Amino acid sequence: MSFHTGIQGLEELVEVPDDYILMAGGTPGTGKSAIAIDYLFAGIENGEKGLYVTLTQSKEEIQESVDLRGHNSKSEDFKIQEATDLMRAGSGGQVFEPEKVIDGLRRNLNQFEPDRIVFDTITKYLMIFDAEPVMREHANSLVSRLKEKDAAGLFIAEVPFSKAKQPSRYEIAEFVVDGLFRLQQMDDKNIFDILKMKGLGYDSKKHVLEITDEDVKLTEAFEDLDSLDEGSSDDGNNSDEV
C-alpha cells in the first residue's frame, strides 16, 4: 500500500510503500525542513501520529516552523523529541549521548506509538561515532527499531556545499534506507531526484522542487542540470551527469 509523503507529484514518479524508511539529503536551503514537516503532517491530517526527533533545533523552533507552514503544532497527534533532552555536559560543551537518543526514541515508540517519524538529522547522529562499521551498526539499529513498530520514517541528511552532488555526508546511511531523495540547487531553483527505491521502479528524471508556505511540489522535469540551464523541459536528450 502506498501513502502520501507530503511531496505533491511524487506519486507520479513512484508509489512509496507505507513502511518505507526514506532519506532526503542536500545542502542548506534545498527544502529539507519543509519536506520533513509536510511528510509528518500528511499523515497526521489523515489520522496518523507523527514524531519529530530533532538533534539540531529546540522544540520551540520546530513548533514555529510547523505553524509557519500552516500546520497545527499543538495537535495531540504531533510530538517532538527535543535535542536538549538528548545531550550531556562534556569537557567540550554539550555533546550527544547515543544512548539518550535511542532511549528517548524507544519510549516514544512504545508510549506515543507514532505512525511516521522524522529523524533530523541522521548526519549529526552518525557524527557521534568514529568508525564506519560502528556508524553502519547504529544506522541499521535505528532503521530496525522503526520497522519493528511498523512505523514509516524520513531521515534528513545534511550535505556541505563542497559535496553538493551527494545526497548525504556519510554514504553508509544511503545503504540502510529503503528510499533516497537528493536535493540540489541550480540557478536559484531547488532540484529533486530519486536515487534509490528498494525493489521498485521509479522515474529518475530530475524535477524542480517548488516550495511555498502551503505545499512542496514537483514541477518541471528534465534529464540533467545542463538541460535546465538551457531552459529545456522533460523532452531533453542529454544524459545524466551526476
- Domain assignment of residue 224, yes or no: no
**DSSP label at 110?**
H
CA–CA dist 176, 191 (Å, integer): 23
Cell of 154: 524520513
Q: What nine digits make up the cell of 196? A: 534509490
In a domain, residue 229? The reply is no
Q: Report the greatest alpha carbon distance in the chain.
A: 57
Count of structural domains, the chain: 1
| Highest mean pLDDT out of 93-107, 200-214, 216-230 | 200-214
Give a yes or no: residue 223 inside a domain: no
Look at residue 237 and tell me whether its pLDDT is greater than 60.
Answer: no
Q: Which residue has the cell 542548506?
A: 28
DSSP secondary structure letter of residue 84? G
7 domain-assigned: no
Range(s) of the domain holding residue 26:
18-189
Residue bearing the bigger pLDDT, 238 or 143: 143
DSSP-assigned letter for residue 14: -
pLDDT tens by residue, 64-84: 999 999 999 999 999 999 866
Q: Could you give the count of Cα atoms lying within 13 Å of 98 in the half-sphere of its Cβ?
A: 16
Residue 225 lies in a domain: no
Residue type, 145: R
Q: Is residue 124 part of a domain?
A: yes
Residue 241 resides in a domain: no
Q: Can you name the residues that pair with 183 across neighbouring β-strands?
A: 26, 192
Mean pLDDT of the chain: 88
The stretches of the chain forming alpha helices (DSSP H) are 32-44, 59-68, 98-111, 122-126, 132-148, 172-176, 225-229
Query: What CATH number is associated with residue 104?
Result: 3.40.50.300
* Residue 142 domain flag: yes
Burial of 72 (0-12, 13-18, 19+ CB in 10 A): middle
pTM of the model: 0.88
Confidence at 97, pLDDT banded by 50, 70, 90: confident
Work out whether strand 93-96 and strand 87-90 pair parallel, antiparallel, or are unpaired: antiparallel
For the stretch 26-49, pLDDT in tens is 999 999 999 999 999 999 999 999
